[in-house]
Structure 1
Amino acid sequence: MSNEFTMPDSSAPKSSVRAKIQAMGGFLTNMVLPNIGAFIAWGILTALFIPTGWMPNEYLAKLVGPTINFLLPLLLAYTGGRMVGGQRGAVMGSIGAIGMIIGADIPMFLGAMIIGPLGGWIIKHFDKLLENRIRAGFEMIVNNFSIGILGFFLLLLSYTVIGPIIEAANEGVTIAIEALVATGFLPLLSLINEPAKVLFLNNVIDQGIYYPLGLQQTAEVGKSIYFTVASNPGPGLGLLLAYTFFGNTVSRRTAPGAIIIHFFGGIHELYFPYVLMKPLTILGVIAGGASGIATFQLFDAGLVAGPSPGSIFAYLALTPKGSFVGIILGVLVATVVSFLVTSLILKLTKTKEEDGEALNESIEKSKNMKSEGKQVLNASNGAASDEADAKEDIDKISFACDAGAGSSAMGATTFRKKLQKAGIEGIEVKHYRIEDVPQDSDIIVVHKNLVDRAKMSYDNHEIIAIENYIGDPKLDELLERLKTE
């Protein structure tokens, strides 16, 4: 299936604003994710060879500037252009990006994530305009000169107009964030970060704001706190520990496994369902996130690149000299604060030992947090029930998530093992980002917060909305359903 990103048209059924923002965040993520290795390579280069690094080397440090100014933005633009317009879009996006890069005094990450898809969109629509209108034998000359001419104008436009606008906007955001840092109110960002993460909107913030700012700051001082403000694994760890000790029967059984995957594997989506199950616990992760940021500030700690995934291993690997104490304490403090606040909430709101049925009722109540998706969710649940009444051939089950590399991968692996254990063969179970799910999938499994987004492209497919990738009742129902076929 093509990696082309397609925004939903007006006929998309009841897609919420949140789902559209999620889709934008997913698009940004899929520009960044394939290039994370390059960002980490630059981070290691910076941590080692700049004057304040582990092994200062004036000669090798010359690689730092050109890498962040040219290589990384060009990779983003190339990837974004390819997602929209294929290989021709990748070339077009790169041509547009170089104009901004040369004309700017800052690394053009934000600009690259705009101009790359724009270049892909331009060449894609130009090719559609000329489709079936090129005379035989002239295809190559038209294809080459179309990119050359359109790229020439996009290059000039990006250098003289788009670049300066993006640079001014970037400077405005930087001034606003730096003013927040100067006043000591940076921890207040947790009021935005933590709820956004639970609603799967964290990629819009991370890839769209914090990563570009972090890379700019790292190029200047060798590290950045911006890489830590939304990726700290401490708040989620504290919440899961609280559920382990003070949760109901089901959560006490599942939370320890989620801790391992969240903290060491870096898949933060594992703790989101626990917040949704008891929405008041969002106060725990907000308090944990804010205290962690305050600790990072107090010790002037930061990372050299964005930790992806947000694992404690990634945190330690990207910590520069002089920041280990601050980084470790920031994660530890966030964990302790989140644990204490969440534990208090669980104790005060607990009326009786809840069984599995009561847990499901509690989860249903949390759906009020996203009322715009309730009808879509109920419709998908109804579709699953209707399908369960009739036998049919199911050959392909696709697990989908925002980036296609975290929670969906874990869910697909776990369910595949369950099929093998049950002796069920002949069913393909794979994981994808939502926009890349094959159209021939018989069933698409997504987290309930991503149902609206899945409906944008796969409204005619059976979509199963789950709460938790570990021991979700609907996955158990699906397994039983497959056993009867």
Structure 2
Amino acid sequence: MATTVERSRGSNARAHVQRFGTFLSGMIMPNIGAFIAWGLITAFFIEKGFTPVPQLGGFGTHTVNGAEVPWTGLVSPMITYLLPLLIAYTGGRMIYDVRGGVVGAIATMGVIVGTNIPMFIGAMIMGPLTAWLMKKIDSIWDGKIKPGFEMLVNNFSAGILGAIMALIAFLVVGPVVEFLSGIAANVVQFLVNAQILPLTSILIEPAKVLFLNNAINHGILTPLGTEQSVQAGKSILFLLEANPGPGLGLLLAYVFFGRGAAKASAGGAALIQFVGGIHEIYFPYVLMKPVLIVATICGGATGILTNVIFNSGLRAPAAPGSIIAVWLQTPPDSFIGVTLSVILAATVSFLIASVILRTSKDKGEGDLSAATSQMEGMKGKKSSVASTLTGGGVATAQGTINTIVFACDAGMGSSAMGASVLRNKIKAAGFSDVKVTNASIASLTDTYDLVVVHQDLAARAEPKTPSAQHVTVDNFMGSPRYDEIVELLEQTNREGGAASAEAAGEAPSAGAGTTGAGTAATGAAAGAGTWVAPDDAPHTAAGNGDGILAERSIVLDGSASSQAAAIEESGKLLVDSGAVTGDYVAAMHERERSVPTYMGNFLAIPHGTNEAKDFISRSAISFVRYPEGIDWNGKPVKFVVGIAGRNNEHLNILSSIAKVFSDQEQVARLEQARSARDVLDIFDRVNNA
């Protein structure tokens, strides 16, 4: 009987909310740097700033042709035009690439000019909407334009649609959004005046553990908070989610009253959370003992109440939620209130978490690794029931299994590595006629016999492949699910007569890209992300600066001490090699927040989102070793392999990497490597073995 992932209505709804929230935050997060720049310019140069400058801050007057005119400055134009247009362009590009971004920005000028408030919400509506309409309009005459007229049609269609949507935005959308923004501002003011704003922690803190933090903070609170900041010079909304106090208090409670691995790791996690601003690092500690969410709720409410009492807030978003970022965005008249809100939030969270840990039989010595996997895979859900097939493993299916796909979000990194490891196991078991491919979730079709997917993507994969069996994993390099799949093949293919023992001697099918054997898959399968490794493919990693993995992109003693810094370090190597732009590194961080790239066996492979492929000029891989290891969401990582791939060109070397890291002896050799050439030799030798 075919087995599917069990999903409740709640988890399905959560997946929809996560997707919508990710879309909203996806328009804001790439532009957080611009928000911070505006906040810093405001902090220094406005009339009440640290170093007032009329020309920059936009206050005072100057003489022009004998008349006194006010200074325009930088503050007002940035908040009125720059930030909304960036948001609109980003949202449009998410829908329809650069063309969508351009028409989205044109349309957004209508809501900007037609209103008297910063139009962030309007930009988040008009950018994607106009891009979607442009995409639909282009599809009408796709392939029907006579040669030589393409540019004429494309340019004028974009211009006409942009102009029409700008007029609609000016006349209709702008006034409506301004009215709704006024209602939202009044609601916030009512919550503040009624002293019930702290109750929002009851929703915000659990939502953070469900990985809705970016959706709430950057998708909702940042636009509203920025509009409030323009009027009042600061906003409490920037601190509803970003306050690092609740997480710090929880982790300190584990330091003093926890046990086992949780106690040992909590100190380092507290430093990363409080100073580095990576709040996700404390989520597994809540998942080990869910009642501790009460501590973070009370801590968050205390912080909000403190800011309400002191009328304190931030000028601009604190991103990431580090105490350093918080202080940098704090105006002078709010410094005491903001600082106290962090201290008191941490204190309350610590006291409540300490009482819970001390009075419970379970002192927090649960399986941190399992809780981390739960956090990564289920996005905060307390049970992993949906991560297994019937009976806690892979169940027997009717009929043979001929096609297996390993799916991930982008289809180029995690799934490729996992597919290579699984392919090795299946080939070694003698099932060389079973095709193992990798693909992105978006490209999945209901043509596969078995789908292997990371836990957090299961809810998205199942509707696309309802006829297939589904297996979810949380460890790409060494998941026990791979052995269960081999056992399933023994039951279905060999015992059913579909695969004989002699099959082990036959040439591997398309996708067996581990030893250089196999034939290339063609057509639609390759287009869907098939791992192509033809017999005559060059198995070289190296070495002159033009290779996918060059010596200059190998660092044997990385300087990073945190997960985020390690991503930066590996990404910088890709940038320095000329393979990617700086925007790709930001996409690597975004990818890590949505789908962790820890692979197992001390390896992480950070890479960009599917939408970041435009930032890649050529395929490249970077390799950084951390002899002392770094914490990767509670798991030890000694090797960070940054990936930027175009058109599957990087998959051959990834196959070598997967083969190396699935072998403990080879991992030990990498730990002892003394030069970049040693690393290249290990990959080449294993690949050609």
Tell me the TM-score normalized by structure 1.
Answer: 0.79
Shift of 1:471: 2.3
- Of the candidates 244, 251, 255, which is equivalent to residue 240 of structure 1? 251
Following the alignment from structure 1 to structure 2, what is the Cα–Cα distance between the partners of residues 430 and 231? 24
What does residue 204 of structure 2 align with?
193
Following the alignment from structure 2 to structure 1, what is the Cα–Cα distance between the partners of residues 109 and 248? 42
State the Cα deviation string for residues 22-58 of structure 1 (Å, max 9, x = none).
Answer: 1222222221122111111111121122232222333
RMSD of Structure 2 on Structure 1 (CA): 3.8
State the Cα deviation string for residues 141-171 of structure 1 (Å, max 9, x = none).
Answer: 0010000111121111111112222222211
Shift of 1:411: 9.8
What does residue 348 of structure 1 align with?
359
Query: Aligned in 2, Cα 1:410/1:124: closer, same or farther, shift over 3 Å?
Result: closer
What does residue 89 of structure 1 align with?
100
Following the alignment from structure 2 to structure 1, what is the Cα–Cα distance between the partners of residues 146 and 296? 62
- Of the candidates 297, 313, 317, which is equivalent to residue 324 of structure 2? 313
- Is the 8 Å Cα contact of residues 289 and 364 (structure 2) preserved in structure 1? no
Q: Which moved more, 1:46-55 or 1:139-148?
A: 46-55
Query: Aligned in 2, Cα 1:370/1:403: closer, same or farther, shift over 3 Å?
Result: farther
Aligned pairs, how many? 432
What does residue 608 of structure 2 align with?
432
Following the alignment from structure 1 to structure 2, what is the Cα–Cα distance between the partners of residues 37 and 296? 25
Any idea what SS the aligned residue of 2:124 has? helix
Q: Where does 1:1-12 land on structure 2 (aligned, <5 Å)?
A: none
| Pair 1:303-2:314 in alignment | yes
Shift of 1:373: 7.6
Following the alignment from structure 1 to structure 2, what is the Cα–Cα distance between the partners of residues 361 and 148? 52
Shift of 1:468: 7.3
What does residue 30 of structure 2 align with?
34
- Of the candidates 607, 623, 633, which is equivalent to residue 469 of structure 1? 633
Any idea what SS the aligned residue of 1:346 has? helix
Query: Aligned in 2, Cα 1:283/1:260: closer, same or farther, shift over 3 Å?
Result: same
State the Cα deviation string for residues 440-472 of structure 1 (Å, max 9, x = none).
Answer: xxxxxxxxxxxxxxxxxxxxxxxxxxx972228
- Is the 8 Å Cα contact of residues 80 and 117 (structure 1) preserved in structure 2? yes
Following the alignment from structure 1 to structure 2, what is the Cα–Cα distance between the partners of residues 13 and 111? 39
* Higher RCO (C-alpha 8 Å, min separation 6): 1
Following the alignment from structure 2 to structure 1, what is the Cα–Cα distance between the partners of residues 363 and 601? 35
**The structure with more helix, counted as a fraction of residues:** 1
Q: Which moved more, 1:402-411 or 1:173-182?
A: 402-411
- Of the candidates 163, 178, 186, which is equivalent to residue 152 of structure 1? 163
What does residue 65 of structure 1 align with?
76
| Pair 1:418-2:418 in alignment | no
Following the alignment from structure 1 to structure 2, what is the Cα–Cα distance between the partners of residues 410 and 123? 28
- Of the candidates 124, 131, 155, which is equivalent to residue 135 of structure 2? 124
Following the alignment from structure 1 to structure 2, what is the Cα–Cα distance between the partners of residues 202 and 70? 27
- Is the 8 Å Cα contact of residues 87 and 124 (structure 2) preserved in structure 1? yes
What does residue 152 of structure 2 align with?
141
Code of the residue aligned with 1:44 in structure 2: it is: L
**The structure with more strand, counted as a fraction of residues:** 2
- Of the candidates 99, 112, 121, which is equivalent to residue 101 of structure 1? 112
Query: Aligned in 2, Cα 1:437/1:340: closer, same or farther, shift over 3 Å?
Result: farther
| Pair 1:288-2:284 in alignment | no
Following the alignment from structure 1 to structure 2, what is the Cα–Cα distance between the partners of residues 361 and 266? 20
State the Cα deviation string for residues 257-276 of structure 1 (Å, max 9, x = none).
Answer: 21121111111111111111
Any idea what SS the aligned residue of 2:302 has? helix
Unaligned runs of 5+ in 1: 1-11, 420-427, 439-466
- Is the 8 Å Cα contact of residues 16 and 373 (structure 1) preserved in structure 2? no
Q: Where does 1:255-266 land on structure 2 (aligned, <5 Å)?
A: 255-266=266-277
State the Cα deviation string for residues 418-460 of structure 1 (Å, max 9, x = none).
Answer: 35xxxxxxxx82233477699xxxxxxxxxxxxxxxxxxxxxx
Query: Aligned in 2, Cα 1:351/1:26: closer, same or farther, shift over 3 Å?
Result: closer
What does residue 79 of structure 1 align with?
90
Query: Aligned in 2, Cα 1:479/1:412: closer, same or farther, shift over 3 Å?
Result: farther
Q: Which moved more, 1:221-230 or 1:14-23?
A: 14-23
Following the alignment from structure 1 to structure 2, what is the Cα–Cα distance between the partners of residues 364 and 306? 29
Q: Where does 1:265-276 land on structure 2 (aligned, <5 Å)?
A: 265-276=276-287
Identity %, equivalent residues: 43
- Is the 8 Å Cα contact of residues 273 and 468 (structure 1) preserved in structure 2? no
Code of the residue aligned with 1:387 in structure 2: it is: Y
What does residue 483 of structure 1 align with?
664
Any idea what SS the aligned residue of 1:309 has? coil
Shift of 1:250: 1.6
Q: Which moved more, 1:140-149 or 1:166-175?
A: 166-175
Following the alignment from structure 1 to structure 2, what is the Cα–Cα distance between the partners of residues 138 and 362? 55
Shift of 1:406: 6.4
Query: Aligned in 2, Cα 1:141/1:368: closer, same or farther, shift over 3 Å?
Result: closer
- Of the candidates 1, 14, 31, which is equivalent to residue 18 of structure 1? 14
Tell me the TM-score normalized by structure 2.
Answer: 0.57
Following the alignment from structure 1 to structure 2, what is the Cα–Cα distance between the partners of residues 65 and 174? 20
- Is the 8 Å Cα contact of residues 6 and 385 (structure 2) preserved in structure 1? no
Unaligned runs of 5+ in 2: 59-73, 390-470, 487-503, 505-511, 515-530, 533-566, 568-585, 615-630, 640-658, 667-689
